[in-house]
Amino acid sequence: MFKVITLSEAQALIQSKFGDLRLHGETVILDNAMGRFLAIDIISDEFVPAFDRSTVDGFAVVSRDLRGCSDSIPAILRKAGESPMGEMPTHTLQPGECFYVPTGGALPQGADAMVMIEFVEDFGAGEYAFVKPVAPGANMIFKGEDLKPGDQILPLGKQLNSADIGTLASMGMTEIEVFVQPKVAVISTGDELVPAAGKLTPGKIRDVNTPMLAALLHESGAIAQTHEIVPDQRDLLREAIMSAIETADVLLVSGGTSVGEHDNLPILIEELGKILVHGIAIKPGKPTIIGQIGGKPVFGLPGNPVAVFFMFRALVKPLLYSLANSRIEPILTEARLTRAISSNHGREEVILVRLEGDQATPVPSKSGLISTVSKANGYFLIPRDREGLAAGDVVHIIRL
């Protein structure tokens, strides 16, 4: 018999038991840092950009020289030189002068704005007419406007994206310290299972959970250590668990989590470690187990692939981020249901939807049919105390 707790209680328990666990750091080259989690704060030790830089092709000016100019009364400035790309100009701009600077080039000292070349007329003899005033700082980036020495560039625990890689490259950083990737052992158990490439015979089903969990772990920045399918034999499952827990940081076992006579996992977790939770008030996912063996987190996931998918997202993935001193910030999209949904299970229920604009259409789903998740692009939770929702009700969608 399950003694269930709510999903939020389960998440809080994982945080309290395992929230202080951290992986150690390692140094990787920048080319291999995409998607990894920073193990240090990145602090700037230089100015970016290192000089006043033009964002347009045109002329550097002293902005006050153009005050009040117009088509009928242009400001006439003398060209004092050109800025060579990749070099710093040596000229200091004086009042009444302009200086040609290409896009990305350095402005001369004394200049405080750029004017696009389209708005300048060559009068000949080195004189140029400017017909519109310009504000200080227009069309340019000041030295250190992006970063200054001592500025925090990226915080500890940040998962690096492509823009972050570019930022680090702009600082001249070719190596970076990141958290090692967590190693997560994956075991599927059940007499009815055959590998995805195996031949189906009557009564058999393909193992969906091992390849799906391996993919979810890859998406989460972890290393999957997959195990061959384990039959419903206690000794074989014990052997697989003991072998896996030696090298893994986290253990995931799918199947055998209920209380039937062939459900060996609860017995083995208690024998080898401790069960912290057995039963979560959510559909799908009620028989989920949270435990620990040798101080390492262990998750017993139901055999139902849809339940595995959502329990991984709700419980396992946040823990993997926490190991790298990070956290997941779900982005919620507000939408209206296109039809009514019933729910009277006394537990939260995951509802898959197809989100189009601000309309969310529930995707019909039956237990264990993982293809229904592929047809959806989001989901939401119906609270356990609601008997359902009406068409037109506003829900907050978590995107898939």
Q: Which amino acid is at 212?
A: M
Tens digits of residue pLDDT in 275-315 = 999 999 999 999 999 999 999 999 999 999 999 999 999 99
12 CB-near residues (< 8 Å, 6+ apart):
none
pLDDT value at residue 343: 84
**Reported confidence tier of residue 239, pLDDT bands at 50, 70, 90:** very high
387 CB-near residues (< 8 Å, 6+ apart):
342, 343, 344
Tens digits of residue pLDDT in 207-237 = 999 999 999 999 999 999 999 999 999 999 9
pLDDT value at residue 261: 62
Looking at residue 315, the DSSP 8-state letter turns out to be I
140 CB-near residues (< 8 Å, 6+ apart):
52, 53, 54, 55, 60, 107, 113, 114
Tokens of 35: 């998607």
Q: Give the helix, strand, coil percentages of the chain, each rounded to 5.
A: 20, 35, 45
**Reported confidence tier of residue 260, pLDDT bands at 50, 70, 90:** low
Q: Cα 135 from chain centroid?
A: 39
pLDDT value at residue 23: 97
Tens digits of residue pLDDT in 157-168 = 999 999 999 999
pLDDT value at residue 367: 63
Q: Residue 162: enclosing H or E segment and its boundaries? A: helix 162-170
pLDDT value at residue 96: 97
C-alpha distances (whole Å) from 205 to each of 71, 105, 124, 177, 286 are: 79, 64, 83, 44, 22
The rounded distance, in Å, linking the Cα atoms of 345 and 4 is 13
Tens digits of residue pLDDT in 51-79 = 999 999 999 999 999 999 999 999 999 99
Q: Is 314 helix (H, G, I), strand (E, B) or coil?
A: helix
Q: Residue 79: enclosing H or E segment and its boundaries? A: strand 75-82
* Mean pLDDT for the chain overall: 94
Given a cut of 70, whether residue 259 has pLDDT beyond it is no
Residues composing the chain: 400
Sheet holding 113-116, edge to edge: 113-116, 58-61, 97-101, 75-82, 127-130, 120-124
> Which of 400, 386, 284, 391 shows the shortest CA–CA distance to 335?
391
Percentage of the residues of the chain whose pLDDT score is greater than 90: 86
pLDDT value at residue 365: 76
pLDDT value at residue 331: 86
Given a cut of 80, whether residue 137 has pLDDT beyond it is yes
pLDDT value at residue 263: 80
